[in-house]
Amino acid sequence: MADEKASKQTPRVLAIASGGGHWVQLLRLRPAFEGARVTYVSVRPAYASDVPGERFIAINDATRWDKVGLLKMALRLVFIMLRVRPNVVISTGAAPGYFAIRLGKLLGARTIWLDSIANVEEMSMTGMLVKDKASLWLTQWPHLAEDDGPTCHGSVL
């Protein structure tokens, strides 16, 4: 009974990023999910080897210039979100994270956006677009933190 209750309280986390640096930065947050049921989503099937023993789903990659690719990605994410029913959605960017944060918010999940450390001069475009959808809206650079803007609690380095 206690176990059942505990498992009901175990948060379901959807951790999502596109490839390369975005994915590498997401992996560096893993201790924050310890004790949660995590589903990782990214754009290369081979990334499954980075999260052995954990649930991993690959989706197509697309940028803002590829409208068909973006639509396909968004639809795929709708299905993933309905299946996973995450309590928390976290992303380090870019396009996949943008859709996931929006969908997560729509489904009542708590949402976390961590803008890439590569965005040194300003928040990314995707980061700006999720401003009002993220429960926690983070930059990794203290000089970009603002009272009514992103907060900074340190970096992935």
x/- site string to another protein, residues 27 to 46, per CB under 8 A?
A: -xxxxxx-xx-------x-x
Show the tokens assigned to 11.
């948060």
Nearer to another protein, 30 or 76 (CB): 30
- From the list 118, 131, 142, 146, which residue makes contact with another protein (rule: CB under 8 A)? 118
DSSP string, 113-140: EE--TT--SS--HHHHHTGGG-SEEEES
E strands within the chain? 12-16, 37-42, 55-58, 88-91, 110-114, 136-139, 151-152
x/- site string to another protein, residues 62 to 101, per CB under 8 A?
A: --------------------------x-x-----------
CA max distance for the chain: 51
Contacts with another protein by CB under 8 A lie at 11, 13, 19-25, 28-33, 35-36, 44, 46-47, 49-50, 88, 90, 110, 112, 114, 116-121, 135-136, 138, 140-141, 151, 153-157
